[in-house]
Amino acid sequence: MDWTNKTILVTGGTGSFGKKFIRIMLDEYRPAKIIVFSRDELKQHEMRTTGGFNHPSIRYFIGDVRDKERLTLAMYGVDIVVHAAALKQVPACEYNPMEAIKTNILGSSNVVDAAIANSVSKVLALSTDKAVNPINLYGATKLAAEKLLIQSNAYAGGRQTRISCVRYGNVVGSRGSVVPLFIKQRPTGRVTITDKRMTRFWISLEQGVRFVINAIENMQGGEVFVPKIPSMRMVDLAQAMAPEAEIEIIGIRPGEKLHESLIGEDEARSTVELPNMYVVQPTDRMWFGHTWEEKGRHLPDGFTYTSENNQEWLDVEGINRIIATIEPEVKKEK
């Protein structure tokens, strides 16, 4: 795929993912134009003036995904949309449920409508492991957004617009994640985890971005792409980051799971396994997105992909290697 003549719009473009995606695009793919679509003028100003993103191919577009009219205007002439905007903090979504619904569900609907209205070629949306068998509102909104985005391929009709999702686990060092928290707690000699049995999927920001780029290049529309990524125990993460600190168990929070899931048993029946990923194919066979069957293998009955039953694990040494590469960036982000 030739990116050099493409115009790309990134919703939530000032976030951790957006900035890493844009940096890799500028350095390696050199698209014609990148539109940063977000609602915070200060973050856009800082990104442009002190963040190293004052590039002639970047346009900064203030807007909220809740505003369909503004989105439709922003997507004029756009070839590819990466939909990364979301309210994603679990406690905040629990306390402000309608705000999460307006951004994560209605905002995604607006992205679809604006993309189809402008005949955008490809829309790739970011989802989360919390959308599988959700027990909190954030996960429920992302599940609804996934379903809405995938099924909206039916609206495209004869138009060229194709819509897919990427679903992956916790991003190492992203804003609001546990790594910055442990960095902050470490000097006190005490770090907190909610339950010593807890496991999580883990993916680096760069891995996530490159997986999204690969999905955009290969998507047919209607798929949910799931990378094969390692699991880790939260106790091991705490020991790796603060080996001298005391670990305090503070109890599981409302809406928090002991283990995360990336593929549930029911959707595994329509999922194909490839060497580096799983592709959840659309259940509606009236349209596209089913030729993956020729490239991979079907999963056995009863298959699930959870952080607890994963075949790949990071131990303390492996976690330390990753932390060493991202900790300077996390501190800089602060």
Kindly list the catalytic residues.
Answer: 130
Residue 185 corresponds to which tokens in the numbers above?
A: 């707690």
What is the rounded distance in angstroms from the CA atom of residue 168 to the CA atom of residue 166? Answer: 7
Query: Which element (helix H / strand E) includes 211?
Result: helix 205-218
DSSP string, 232-248: EEHHHHHHHH-TTSEEE
**Long-range interactions of 326-331: CB distance < 8 A, separation 24+:** 326/172, 326/173, 326/179, 326/204, 326/205, 327/173, 327/179, 327/183, 329/173, 330/173, 330/179, 330/180, 330/183, 331/183
In the numeric block, the tokens 């993912």 are attached to 17
What DSSP designation does 253 have? P
Length of the chain: 334
Q: How would you class 319 by CB atoms within 10 Å of its CB: exposed for 0-12, middle for 13-18, buried for 19 or more?
A: buried
Q: Give 50-93 as a 3 state SS string.
A: CCCCCCCCEEEEECCCCCHHHHHHHCCCCCEEEECCCCCCHHHH
Among candidate residues 218, 194, 242, the one with its CA nearest the CA of residue 91? 194
Query: Which residues neighbour 243 within 8 Å (Cβ) at sequence distance 6 or greater?
Result: none
